Structure 1
Amino acid sequence: MAQNEKEQALRIFVWIVPRVNSTAFLKCMSCVDDTAVWMEPYMTTHLNKTLFNPEYKKDDQNAQRYRASMEKTMQRPETLAMMKESLAMADEFSNITDQATFTDSWVKKQLETEDPGKKFIFIKDQSFAIFDQLDSLPEGVPTRHVFLIRHPKEVYTSWKNVATTLADPSNPIPWDECHAANDAFLIPVSEFYQTHHNLWKHVKEHLDPDAVIIDGHDLTSNPDVVLRKLFENLGIPYKPSYLEWSGDPQSVYSSWRGSNFVVFVCSNTVNISRAVNCSKFDPPKHPRGVANPKWKVTDELKEYIESAMPLYEEMFANRLM
C-alpha cells in the first residue's frame, strides 16, 4: 500500500458498456456523503481522438456520412445556443473543464490528485475507452473497480435506438436503415462485451481481485438490496436516503466533474437527459432479457447479441448477489 494511502480518497471505477443504467447510478452516487464523481473522463479523451479529430477515419464513408449529418445539427440555432452555454459553464462551475483540455495523461494526473474533504471518488467510464491505454489509470492511490452489466439483447436494442439519432436528433434514421455499428463509427459497437469482459479479467488478475459486478436489471429492480451490498463491499456507510435524490439537472452541472461537452451538451440529448433528470431508480419495464417490442432485432443486432451472450453469462454468474 502506498504511503498515506489510508488517508487518501478511495477511487472507485465504474466500468460500463452503454445502456446499463449507469447515468442514473452516477447520479445516485453523487448524493453520497463525502463523495466526488467523474463523468466518463476517458471517454472524453476518446472523443478528442475521434469525433473532434478531423483526421480520424477521414476516408471512411460511414464517418463521412456521420460528420455531414452532425455538421448540419451543429449549425442549427438551438445547437449553437447550447454550445455557447456549455462554453460558459467551464467558467461558471469549477467542476467543469473545457473539452479540449482532456488527454489521457491529464485525466491520470487529475485522478491522482487528492481532493480535500472527499473520502470516495467515483469515476464512471466506458470499458473500451480505457482498455488500450491502461497505463493511463492513476497510480499510487487506493482503487476499487465495479462493472455494470445488462442483458445483451437489452443493451444492443437500446443502443440501436441511440444510433438512430446520434448524428442528427431531429432527423432519426429509420430503424431498418440504421446499422448499430456503421452509424456510430466512433465506438466499437460489436466489441462492447468482449472488451468489457477482457477488462474485467485484467482487473481481477492485476488490479482488484475483488472487483464487483452489478447487473442493471438487479439494480433497478431492487436498488436498496443491491446498494447496501455494494456499499458494504466498498466500505461506504449506507443510508436509505441515498435511494432518492434531486431531479434538478443543475445538481449535475454543479457537481459532476468532466468536460463541458460531455456533462452539459451530451446530458441534454434525448438519450441521456431522462437519466440526468431522474430522482430515483425506475423499475424495469420488461423482464430481464426482453427488449422493447418496438425495437426489432435486426441482423447485425442478432450477431452482436449471440457473440456477447457467453461473456455476459459468465459475468452475470459472478455478479453481486
Structure 2
Amino acid sequence: MTSSRNAHVFLWAVPRSLSTAFTRSMESIDNVAIYHEPYGCADHYGPEGRLIPMDASPSEMQCTYDYVKAKLEDKSLENKCVFVKDMGYAVHKRYDKIAKGYKHSFLIRHPIKSFLSYYNAIVSSGADDVDGNLSHWLPEGLGYQELWELYCYLENENGKKPFVVNADDLLTNPKQVLEKYCEAVGFEYNDGLLSWDSKPKVKWNVAATVWDVDHTYNWFANSLSAGGFKRELSKPIPSIEKLPNIVQKYVHKSMPYYEKLSAC
C-alpha cells in the first residue's frame, strides 16, 4: 500500500466536468506521475472497446483492461505519487479491472453544464449529425448513472465514502476545495495547484489516439490553456427549456444520479 507521501489516486469523472483542468492542477504535486484516461482508451479504442465498429481494427491494440491494470500497478510507481483521471463509465461492469492500491475520488458537474458543453464541442467540430455524434460517444447511462454505480461499488468495497468534488465549488473556492481534496487523498497541498501556464510541468501518460481525437473535437483545449480555476468561469445554469432537445433529454435522465452524488 502506498504511503501518504506517495499516494496513488483515481479521479473518476463525467465528460465536460473540468477534469482535464483538474489534471493540469495536479501537475504541481511533487514527484507525480499523471495518467490521462487509460481505461477510457481501453473503452474507446482498445480491442475490448465498445466503440470499435465491427469492420474496423482498434487503434490502440495493446490497450486491454488487463494491460491498463498492470501498468497502474507496476512496481516502478511505488516511489511516486500517481494521479489517474478517467471516466467512471470506462470501468462499468469491469470493476475487477480497477488497479489496486489507489484511493478514489470523484468529480461531478451539473448535467446542464456538462451536456451543453459537450453539445457545443461537437457543434464546433463541424460534425454533420450532432445528435448522433453525441449519442455515439456517451454510454447507455450517459456517464452519470455509471459514475453513481461506481461510487456505490467503491464505497461498499472499501467501507468508506470516496471524496466528491463539485466543479462549481472548485471554480468559486479553489484553494479551499483543493486543500480538502489533498488532505482526503494523501497529496501534499501547495499553492501551485491553483494555476498553470501553457507549458506542462509533467509529461502525461496518454495514448496517441486520445490526443489525435482531441484535434478533431478540442475536448481539452480550454482546460489545458485556462491558466487556473477562475470564479468567472462558473456561470449561472441556463434554463433547461432553452437547451437543444437532446440535451434536455440527457439532463432529465441524469439529474437523479447527479443529485445523489451531490449529497455524498
- The normalised TM-score by structure 2 is 0.86
Q: How many residues align?
A: 258
Query: Match for residue 190 of structure 2?
Result: 239
Confirm whether residue 265 of structure 1 aligns to residue 264 of structure 2. no
Confirm whether residue 115 of structure 1 aligns to residue 89 of structure 2. no
Deviations 1:273-296 (A, max 9, x none): 1212232123344545337x9x94
Query: Match for residue 196 of structure 1?
Result: 147
- In structure 2, C-alpha distance between the alignment counterparts of 1:113 and 1:40, rounded to whole Å: 17
- In structure 1, C-alpha distance between the alignment counterparts of 2:134 and 2:253, rounded to whole Å: 20
- In structure 2, C-alpha distance between the alignment counterparts of 1:190 and 1:284, rounded to whole Å: 31
State the SS of the aligned residue for 2:189: coil
What stretches of structure 2 of length at least 5 have no aligned partner? none
1:217 to partner: Cα distance: 0.6
1:45 to partner: Cα distance: 0.8
Correspondent of 2:120 among 149, 161, 175: 161
Q: Supply the AA of the counterpart residue of 2:254.
A: A
Closer/same/farther in 2, CA of residues 230 and 267 from structure 1, 3 Å limit? same
What stretches of structure 1 of length at least 5 have no aligned partner? 59-97
Query: Match for residue 38 of structure 1?
Result: 35
Closer/same/farther in 2, CA of residues 246 and 23 from structure 1, 3 Å limit? same
Query: Match for residue 315 of structure 1?
Result: 261
- In structure 1, C-alpha distance between the alignment counterparts of 2:164 and 2:234, rounded to whole Å: 21
State the SS of the aligned residue for 2:76: coil
Query: Match for residue 17 of structure 1?
Result: 14
Q: Supply the AA of the counterpart residue of 1:265.
A: D
Query: Match for residue 226 of structure 2?
Result: 278
Deviations 1:139-193 (A, max 9, x none): 3xx211111101111111111122335xxx3x344xxx631x5544143165321
Higher deviation after alignment, 301-310 or 276-285: 276-285
Structure number with larger C-alpha Rg: 1
Correspondent of 2:247 among 294, 301, 306: 301
- In structure 1, C-alpha distance between the alignment counterparts of 2:134 and 2:184, rounded to whole Å: 39
- In structure 1, C-alpha distance between the alignment counterparts of 2:31 and 2:172, rounded to whole Å: 26
Asked whether the 8 Å contact 2:69–2:99 carries over to 1, the reply is yes
Deviations 1:104-138 (A, max 9, x none): 11100011112357442111111111112111112
Closer/same/farther in 2, CA of residues 210 and 50 from structure 1, 3 Å limit? closer
Asked whether the 8 Å contact 2:179–2:189 carries over to 1, the reply is yes
- In structure 2, C-alpha distance between the alignment counterparts of 1:278 and 1:301, rounded to whole Å: 25
Closer/same/farther in 2, CA of residues 44 and 284 from structure 1, 3 Å limit? farther
State the SS of the aligned residue for 2:75: coil
- In structure 2, C-alpha distance between the alignment counterparts of 1:239 and 1:151, rounded to whole Å: 28
Q: Supply the AA of the counterpart residue of 1:302.
A: Q
Higher deviation after alignment, 273-282 or 118-127: 273-282
- The normalised TM-score by structure 1 is 0.72
Correspondent of 1:187 among 138, 147, 156: 138
Asked whether the 8 Å contact 1:9–1:115 carries over to 2, the reply is no
- In structure 2, C-alpha distance between the alignment counterparts of 1:244 and 1:191, rounded to whole Å: 30
Asked whether the 8 Å contact 1:148–1:213 carries over to 2, the reply is yes
Higher deviation after alignment, 36-45 or 306-315: 306-315
1:7 to partner: Cα distance: 8.9
Query: Match for residue 54 of structure 2?
Result: 55
- In structure 2, C-alpha distance between the alignment counterparts of 1:236 and 1:187, rounded to whole Å: 31
CA RMSD of aligned residues (A): 2.7
- In structure 1, C-alpha distance between the alignment counterparts of 2:189 and 2:228, rounded to whole Å: 16
Correspondent of 2:61 among 100, 107, 115: 100
